[in-house]
Amino acid sequence: SLRVQAATTARLAWWCLHRSVLVNSTGHHDRDRAPTDGTSRGKGLAIAGIVLGAVGIVGFILWIILIVVAVNNNNCNTYGNC
C-alpha cells in the first residue's frame, strides 16, 4: 500500500540523516583530537567523515526538495487544476 511505502521511505530517510549527522560530528571531534606533531594518523579519516557526513546531509535536503516537487507536479497532472 502507499502508506507502507511512504512510512518505509520516511524511516530510511530519517536513518540516513541521523547517520550523516553522527558521522559529521564524529569527524569534527576526531579531527580536533588528531595529533598535531606532524604525523597524519587519523586526520584523513576524520576529514573523510566530515565530507561524507556533509554529502549525506546535502543529499537528504535535495531528496526532500525532490519529493516536494514530485508531489506538487503529480497533483497538478492528476486533477488538471494548475
* Mean pLDDT, rounded, for 45-53: 87
Q: pLDDT at residue 77 above 60?
A: no
Q: pLDDT at residue 40 above 70?
A: no
Amino acid at 67: I
pTM passes above 0.85: no
Q: pLDDT at residue 42 above 80?
A: no
Residue 69 sits at the vertex; the CA angle it makes with 68 and 71, to the nearest 5 degrees, is 65
Q: pLDDT at residue 80 above 70?
A: no
Q: pLDDT at residue 23 above 70?
A: yes
Instruction: State the pLDDT at residue 21.
Output: 86
- Kindly write down the DSSP assignment for every residue of 60-75, as one continuous string: HHHHHHHHHHHHHHHH
